[in-house]
Amino acid sequence: MKRILIILLAFFAVQLQAQDLTHYKQIVKELSSSKYKGRGYAYDGANKAGKFIEKEFVKAGVDEVICQPFKLDINTFPGKMSFSVDGKKLTPGVDFTLREFSPGVKGTFKLYHIDTKNYDSEKLFADLARPENHNSFVVCDFWFSYKHTADFQRLQSKDGSTNAGIIFTWTDPILKFYKAYGEKVIDKPVLWAAASFPADAKSVTLDIENEFLKDYECFNVIAKVEGKCHDACYVFTAHYDHLGVLGKKTYYPGAHDNASGTAAIITLAAHYAENQPEYDIYFIAFSGEDAYLRGSEWYATHPIVPLEQIKYLFNLDMIGDNNPVQYCEVSDPGMDGFKLMEDINTANGYFKSLNRAELAGNSDHYPFAQRGVPCIFLENEGGDAFKYYHTVFDTWKTSYTDSYAPTFKLVTDFIEKY
C-alpha cells in the first residue's frame, strides 16, 4: 500500500509539472501570435498583450492584480514599407530593417558607395556636394561607421550633408531590429540591408511610413500572492512588450524574447497561488523594456511596496532556448544569494553552470540593481534560438522549452532555502 501511495504521489507530481509546461507553452504561443502584432506600440499590440496577461494572472488565482500606467514617446512603422534596389523588391525584416529613429521616406534615389579602403572624409563630403550626388543615399558597411562616428552623425543631419539618407550593409546573415532609441525621430532615414545587398547597386526606390506616438500610454501588470509574512517580499519580473511591426504585414513574434519569461512568471504565480509562500511574492510583467527599460524604470521610481523590502528579485528574460549553461547577471547586494543559487544548482544539476557576467543595463533588473536591490537576471543565451533574437524568425517554432523547468526549479528551490 505504501509503495502504491509513493507511485501515486510521483505520478501526480509529474502531472503537475506537465501541466505547468503545457500552460507555459500555451502562453508563449499566444503572445507570439499575429494577434498582438509583435507586442509593440503600433496597433496597440503591447496593451492588448497586457490585457491578456492580466486575465492570465487572475486565472492563476493570485490575490490581487493591478495595472500601473505610464507614458512614453515612441517611433513606429505601421504603414507602407516598400524597398526596391535596381527594380528588385526586398522583404522587410529579412532583406532590410530600419533604425528605430528613422523618419518616413518616399522616392527613387541614386546611391553613393563609400570607398572604405581609401576613405577620405573631405573627399566624401565634397563628392556629396556635387549636383550629380545631391539627395543620394550613402551606402556603407555598418561596422566601418564605428571608426568614423562624427562623419556618420553628420551624414544623418539635414545641415551636415546633402545626402537623403544612409544604407548600412551587414555581413550577418540575419538582420536585427531595435526600439531602444525610438523616443525621437532624426532628420534622415537610416536603413540596414542584408549581406545580399548588391555591391554595385545604382538606385533604390523607397516608400516607408513612420508614425511617432507622443505620450503613448502603456502599463505594467502587477500580480500579488500573499505570503504568511508581509514585512518583506520576493519579486519576479519579465517584460512582455516586443518590437512590434515593420509595415502592415511584417511583425516580430518575440517568442524567446520575451514571451518565454512572461509565460514563466505566470506559471510561477499559479504555483505560489496553490502553495502559499512564507513571504508575499509580486509578479511584474513590464511593458516598455524594448523602449530602453521604460516600464521597469517607471516602477523603480514608483514602487507599490518599498524597494528595501525586496528580499530578492528574479528577472526572467529570454529563457526559451536550449543552452545547458545559464547566463546571469547579479547586483552587488545579490551576491550572497547567488552563492546559494550556485550551491542549489550544483546539488541538483539544473544547469551545467551559471555563467555570471558583468552587470549591464540590458534588461529590467538594471533599474533595481542601480537602487541596491538584491537581484539576478536569468537569460538562456547562446543556444539554437539565440541567433533569432530581435528578428522576425523568433517564433514559437524556433524557440525551445529546455530551460523552462530548470529555471522554474532553481528559483523555487532558492525561495524555499533563502
CATH at residue 314: 3.40.630.10
Q: Are 203 and 240 members of one domain?
A: no
Domain-embedded: residue 126: yes
Phi, psi of 153 (to 5 degrees): -65, -40
We report the CATH number of the domain holding residue 173 as 3.50.30.30
Give the number of other Cβ atoms within 10 Å of residue 339's Cβ.
11
Final residue in a domain of this structure, among 154, 189, 208: 208
Which of 83, 90, 86 lies closest to 195, judged by CA?
A: 90
Domains of the chain: total: 2
Domain-embedded: residue 5: no
Final residue in a domain of this structure, among 182, 208, 234: 208
Domain-embedded: residue 188: yes
Domain-embedded: residue 184: yes
Is the whole model's pTM more than 0.85, yes or no? yes
Q: Are 66 and 85 members of one domain?
A: no
Q: What is the pLDDT along the chain (418 residues), one digit of tens a residue?
A: 444 444 443 443 444 444 599 999 999 999 999 999 999 999 999 999 999 999 999 999 999 999 999 999 999 999 999 999 999 999 999 999 999 999 999 999 999 999 999 999 999 999 999 999 999 999 999 999 999 999 999 999 999 999 999 999 998 889 999 999 999 999 999 999 999 999 999 999 999 999 999 999 999 999 999 999 999 999 999 999 999 999 999 999 999 999 999 999 999 999 999 999 999 999 999 999 999 999 999 999 999 999 999 999 999 999 999 999 999 999 999 999 999 999 999 999 999 999 999 999 999 999 999 999 999 999 999 999 999 999 999 999 999 999 999 999 999 999 999 9
For residues 204 and 86, what is the distance between their CA atoms, to the nearest angstrom? Answer: 6
Q: Are 88 and 171 members of one domain?
A: yes
Q: Are 373 and 232 members of one domain?
A: yes
Domain-embedded: residue 4: no
> Do 140 and 116 contact (CB within 8 A), yes or no?
yes
Q: Are 122 and 222 members of one domain?
A: no
Q: Are 226 and 370 members of one domain?
A: yes
Handedness of CA 330, 331, 334, 336 (dihedral sign): positive
Domain-embedded: residue 1: no
Q: Are 286 and 409 members of one domain?
A: yes
Q: Are 87 and 49 members of one domain?
A: no
Domain-embedded: residue 385: yes
Q: Provide the grid cell at 374.
A: 538584491
Q: What are the angstrom distances between the C-alpha of 118 and each of 114, 115, 123, 124, 173? A: 9, 6, 10, 11, 26
For residues 390 and 238, what is the distance between their CA atoms, to the nearest angstrom? Answer: 16
Q: Provide the grid cell at 51.
A: 490585457
Final residue in a domain of this structure, among 208, 229, 264: 208
Domain-embedded: residue 6: no
Q: Are 149 and 258 members of one domain?
A: no
Amino acid letter for position 311: K
Q: Are 195 and 241 members of one domain?
A: no
Which residues, 6+ apart, have CB-to-CB distance to 406 below 8 Å?
Answer: 326, 350, 351
Q: Are 354 and 295 members of one domain?
A: yes
> Do 314 and 263 contact (CB within 8 A), yes or no?
no
For residues 311 and 373, what is the distance between their CA atoms, to the nearest angstrom? Answer: 8
| Enclosing domain of residue 135 | 81-208
Q: Are 64 and 167 members of one domain?
A: no
